[in-house]
A and B are shown apart, each in its own frame.
Chain A
């Protein structure tokens, strides 16, 4: 997995993107297969959007990304599309948790200067892997991101909660 740095094309969304917008509840009623579900990503916004995602794209959003339902397919469908990181001003707590548990890196920072199609690099700061920065190649500027608690970083570095639990069979703090 799943540890930075990640470099990719920014795919920009607005505020309050809820999980039903990411993938509708009625799709998960018929299948939980991420490769099936990825075809319907963001279909309520634009049915052609899903096909435009390339592996390595980075989702960039405003505040409260992943609000609403706690359904985990809203993360696994994104992971299924080959996306390794979501960068947002803020996340709903359930999306944030589910992202970490599935090895999808959630990054909290000021995303207002990032435009659709920008090349961005998400990287750890030298000497402190808990601190992340988002570098925008177009503007040449780096945006500082918040620190991530140890247990979240451990789960992410393991590749998600499945490999973490296969190794530990419990939580370690």
Chain B
């Protein structure tokens, strides 16, 4: 019998029995995260299910990130309800301004190798970068976990993504993610796990891997998981919430598809409105005028992303007239780092709009909403029509460097030409 993939191993361990792809298992959850976008509804389900006590409040965490700060009375009431429930049941809660729940799960060391962490938000897949089986769920599943501590899952088949070579100048992890979306399509990995491997992983640190895991769901994947190595251990040193054991795939594990991506062949990529898999090389998008440049989100709102963007912005002399440059750090820790190292001051000096750490206007629920006819280029993960709160705006997705190049030129441009 063939060996097992990382996902098969973790779910078997969490179910306490040997399972394979295709099996339906009931697993103990290590951590479950919910946001203001999902918890209010989960509390309704919890009550309707007859829930009275939370199975293990310390395995739960709530994040106030989608409406941060609350832009309306209704949103503020959702927050109040979450705070009240968290206080009564002893559930940790991340307040408005602390950041995006996904980023905080990672920063707080809750996602460790071999763990099963779910989030009531599709981008919970992000934590796969840390060798954790991480997937998104809805509010009703979150309520069931609050009551039972458990979830049923179908063990996914895995697609192996081998990364080779070095990223050339001007190419970043987001370009790898967009290339994979182009290759696989928006449903190319539905119900499947993406399992990353290959010699290029040595060059990708945890911040880079988070981008790839985060984007797994844009191909329909259930999770996007990396092996654990010295970079994983280094990141978790001093952060990890508890002991852990890295999980490696068996050499003879079965994969339903294998894709090899030579990173040295890549160019900067852009996803065109309104589909994440409508991806072209920078040359085919260059010249499109942009009026808003958005730096932030759980894909592209970390320290390294802002550093990459700033380098290009400085090389090009700052944003062009008529471009609104929006900066939304993924967390307070990111904001503090950018403050300490002077990056924030440079963005402010360039006239950037600085938004509270959180989801910002990524899904149009708060922050800077683009106007009619506006073209936005963003470091986010979704460009659906209406996604940023206005169906009459168009959203392009790219790396922080490509977004910065667009800010400099006032139109989509190749970052390699701006930063010569």
Chain A interface residues toward B at CB < 8 A: 16, 18, 20-21, 24-26, 28-32, 44, 63-64, 67-73, 75-76, 90-94, 97-98, 101-102, 149-151, 160-162, 165-166, 169-171, 173
Residues of A within 8 A of B78 (CB): 29
> A26-B389, A44-B386, A169-B147 are contacts. A98–B138 as well, Cβ < 8 Å?
yes
Cβ contact within 8 Å between A29 and B49: no
Cβ contact within 8 Å between B385 and A90: no
Stretch with Cβ within 8 A of A (4 or more), from B159-167, B186-194, B195-203, B398-406: B186-194
> A25-B364, A93-B191 are contacts. A162–B384 as well, Cβ < 8 Å?
no
6 more contacts with CB within 8 A, not counting A71-B38, A169-B148, are A20-B385, A25-B363, A32-B44, A44-B386, A173-B26, A173-B152
Cβ contact within 8 Å between A70 and B121: yes
Residues of B within 8 A of A173 (CB): 24-26, 152
Query: Beta-carbon contacts of B194-236 to A below 8 Å, as 1s and 0s?
Result: 0000000000000000000000000010100000000000000
* CB < 8 Å neighbour of A166 from B26, B37, B50, B220: B50
Residues of A within 8 A of B147 (CB): 165, 169-170
Chain B interface residues toward A at CB < 8 A: 24-26, 37-38, 40-41, 44-45, 48-50, 66-67, 71-72, 74-75, 78, 120-122, 136-141, 143-144, 147-148, 150-152, 154, 186-187, 190-191, 220, 222, 275, 363-365, 382, 384-387, 389, 391
Cβ contact within 8 Å between B137 and A94: yes
Cβ contact within 8 Å between B384 and A171: no
Cβ contact within 8 Å between B220 and A161: no
Residues of B within 8 A of A64 (CB): 186-187, 190, 220
> A90-B190, A93-B220, A151-B152 are contacts. A69–B49 as well, Cβ < 8 Å?
no
Cβ contact within 8 Å between A69 and B121: yes
Interchain Cβ contacts within 8 Å, total number: 143
Cβ contact within 8 Å between A162 and B190: no
* CB < 8 Å neighbour of B365 from A16, A25, A67, A75: A25
Docked Cα-Cα span, A111 to B74, in Å, equals 39
Residues of A within 8 A of B41 (CB): 32, 72-73, 76
Cβ contact within 8 Å between B140 and A28: no
Residues of B within 8 A of A151 (CB): 24, 152
Cβ contact within 8 Å between A70 and B363: no
Cβ contact within 8 Å between A21 and B148: no
Cβ contact within 8 Å between B140 and A162: yes
